[in-house]
A and B are shown apart, each in its own frame.
Chain A
Amino acid sequence: MKNTKFLIQSAVIAAVYTALTLLLMPFSYGFLQIRVSEALTILPFFTPAAIPGLFVGCLLSNLLGPYGFADMVFGSAATLIAAMGSYMLKRIPIMVPLPPVLANGIVIGAMLYFVYGVQIPLYASILWVSAGELVACYGLGYPLLRYLKKYKNIFELH
C-alpha cells in the first residue's frame, strides 16, 4: 500500500501544482513570474512524496506552457533541487520556503540570461526572479504551511 500511495500522492501534488499554474497562466511564466503554485514548495515539510510530485508538476506545467523545452529542463531541475533542500530543512519551518527562492532565482535567472538572451546583468536577472519567488514562497507558502499543519493527517502514508 505504501508505495502505491506514495506514487498517487506525488501524482496528485503534481496535478494541483499544474492546475494552479495553468489557472493563473499569465503570471506563471517568464520574466516577471509570480507563480502561485510555487507556494506548494512547502509541501516537503509534510510528506517526502512532494519531492517527485513538485518535480513532475513543474515538468508538466512547463511542458504545457509557452516557454518550451529549456524551461522544462532547467525549471524542473531547479524545483527538484529546491524540494530536496526543503525536505532536509523541515526541522526548521521558517527555512522551508528558502531553498525554492534560491534555487529558482539562480537557475531561472541564469536561464533567462543565457538561453533567452535577456540582456540585463546576470545578478539583476537572478534578483528579479528571486523576488517573485519570495512573494510566492514566503507571502503565500509559509502561511499555507501554518494552516496545513492543522490538517497534517491527510498527508499520512498508511
Chain B
Amino acid sequence: MIRDITLGQYYPGNSWIHKLDARIKIIWTFVYIISLFIIQDFWGYIIIVANLVLIIGISGVPLKFIMKGLKPIFFIILFTFTINMFMTKGTPLFHIWFLTITKEGLYNAIFMGIRLVLLIIGSSMLTLATKPINLTDGIEKLLSPWQKFGLPSHELAMMMTIALRFIPTLLEETDKIMKAQMARGADFESGNIINRAKSLIPLLVPLFISAFRIAQDLAMAMEARCYRGGHNRTRMNEMKLHRRDAVAVFFMLVFLGLVIVQAQGLFTMIPGLM
C-alpha cells in the first residue's frame, strides 16, 4: 500500500522548465490560474492550450504521466459536467425522460469542464517539474518581504523542509504500527464509516508518540549544533536568477497580455481576423 505513493508528483528531469527558478514558476502558476478566470469564451482557450502544450513539450514530462495525475479527480470533472448540463436553464435542446438538456447547459458544461481540466493540468505542472524542496525554498523567498510585518517566513519554510524530510519516515512507521496492530487482531478494513474511522485510533496514538519522540531528539540535536533561527544562516544552494528566468518572465508577460487582449475582445477589432 505504501509502496504506491510517490511523494508529490515530481517527475525527475533536466529540462529548461526543471531548471527555472522555483520563484518564477510559482508566479507563473499564479498568472496562469488568474488568466483561466479572465477567459470568457472558447477562443481564449486556444491561447491557454497553446501555452500549456509548449510548457509540457519543453518540460519533457510524458503526457501519460500527467494524465495519471488526472485520474483521482476524474469523478469531480464528470460530476461538474453532468450537474452543469442538467441544471442550467435556457433553450431546451432535447429531453431524456424527465431531464432536459439546454443549449446553455451544454455550453456551460463543456466550458467549465475544460476550465477544470486546464486548471489542474496547469497547476500540476508546477509540482511535476519542481522538486518539493525547491518549492519550499521558493515559497520562503517569496514570503520574505513580509518578514518585516511579522510573518515568520524562515520558520515556516524550515517547518516545511523538516516535514518533507520526515514524511517517508512516518509512512514507514505507520506501516509498521499497522502491521503490529493487525498481528494483535486489529481490523482496519471492515465495518461502516464511523467504525472504520474509530479503528484508526490504535494507529494514531502510537504514531503520535513515536513522532514526538523524533521531534524531541531532533530539537536536541539542533540545539547542540547552535541552531537559532534564520539570522545570518547560509544555505547549501543559493537561489540565483539566470538569463532563462528573465526569458520566462518575458513569455509570462506576453501570455498575460494576449489573454487580457483576447478577453477584452480587442482581437475582433482587427479587421479580417475573426
Contacts and interface: CB of A to CB of B under 8 A. Distances in A.
B163 A15 contact: yes
A13 B79 CA distance: 34
B158 A19 contact: no
B160 A135 contact: no
Given A63-B135, A139-B197, 19 more contacts: A4-B219, A4-B228, A14-B163, A15-B167, A16-B207, A29-B73, A30-B72, A57-B163, A68-B120, A68-B122, A69-B126, A70-B33, A116-B80, A117-B84, A118-B76, A118-B83, A148-B205, A154-B209, A155-B212
Interface stretch (B1-9, B55-63, B256-264): B1-9
Contacts of B208: 16, 148, 151, 154
Given A5-B219, A143-B201, A30 B163 contact: no
Contacts of A135: 193-194, 197
A13 B160 CA distance: 11
Interface residues of B, number: 73
A83 interface: no
A contact patch SS: helix
A67 interface: yes
B159 A14 contact: yes
Interface of A: 1, 3-5, 7-16, 18-20, 22-23, 25-26, 29-32, 34, 36, 39, 52-53, 56-57, 59-60, 63-64, 66-70, 115-120, 135-136, 139-140, 143-144, 147-148, 151, 154-155
9 contacts: A1-B219, A14-B159, A19-B167, A19-B171, A29-B73, A30-B76, A66-B73, A68-B122, A151-B208
Interface string B133-174: 001000000000000000010011011101111110011001
A106 B119 CA distance: 22
A17 B223 CA distance: 25
Nearest to A154: B212
B contact patch SS: helix
B243 interface: no
Contact of B215 (A9, A36, A66): A9
B227 interface: yes
10 closest A-B pairs by beta carbon, nearest first, are: A68-B123, A11-B162, A14-B163, A15-B166, A64-B8, A15-B163, A117-B112, A19-B170, A140-B197, A12-B215
A56 B214 CA distance: 18
A70 B32 CA distance: 12
B80 to A, nearest CB: 5
B79 A67 contact: no
Contacts of A136: 197
B122 to A, nearest CB: 8
Contact of B73 (A30, A140, A143): A30
A90 B30 CA distance: 37
